[in-house]
Homo-oligomer: A and B are copies of this chain.
Amino acid sequence: VTTDAEPALTQDLVALLRSGGRRVTSPRLAILRELRQAGGHVSAHHVYQRVRPELPGISVPTVYATLELLVELGLARRVEAGARATLYDSRTDPHGHAVCRRCGAVADIPASVEEEPLLRAAQGDGFRAESAELLVRGLCCACR
């Protein structure tokens, strides 16, 4: 149980939780750490498997709830990779995703879209926009 790996990042989460009146718990710290170690785009199931050695009793619903919480806090982003699985990305800067429609592989797209104008464009009819996502679907190298 390394406690000095990414101290600053953990502190971010702690601060955000405290300021929102939420509790600091082991699953929350462990899941954020795993999400960042993974580096890429991971499924809830993947996180669940990787966190289990550290927290043997952790449950699947907790993983889902926590990932969604991290998204709300702005520490992660959802990637709608298709019906097969929702993925979570620890990169929070604006970038798109290329998703293979056959195997579900995801790659980052360098193209950066300005989020602000999009969020504003979506504000019609009382809709409160929270985040924007850019998806390109197609076939990856291996699946063609």
User: Taking beta carbons and an 8 Å cutoff, which residues of A are in contact with B?
Assistant: 78, 80-83, 86, 96, 98, 100-101, 107, 109-111, 113, 117-119, 121-122, 124-141, 144
Q: Specify which of B98, B121, B127 is in contact with A122 (CB 8 Å cutoff).
A: B98
Q: Specify which of B96, B127, B135, B141 is in contact with A107 (CB 8 Å cutoff).
A: B127
A24 to B71, CA, bound (A): 45
In the assembled complex, the CB of A36 is this many whole angstroms from the nearest CB of chain B, namely: 22
Q: Specify which of B122, B135, B136 is in contact with A109 (CB 8 Å cutoff).
A: B122
Specify how many copies of this chain sit in the oligomer.
2
B contact residues around A111 at 8 Å (CB): 117-118, 121-122
B118 touches A144 (CB 8 A): no
A136 touches B118 (CB 8 A): yes
A20 to B71, CA, bound (A): 43
A-B contact pairs, 27 of them (CB 8 A): A80-B81, A80-B135, A82-B86, A96-B121, A107-B122, A109-B118, A109-B122, A110-B121, A111-B117, A113-B134, A118-B136, A125-B141, A126-B141, A126-B144, A127-B138, A127-B139, A127-B141, A128-B138, A128-B144, A130-B137, A131-B137, A131-B138, A132-B134, A132-B135, A133-B135, A133-B137, A135-B135
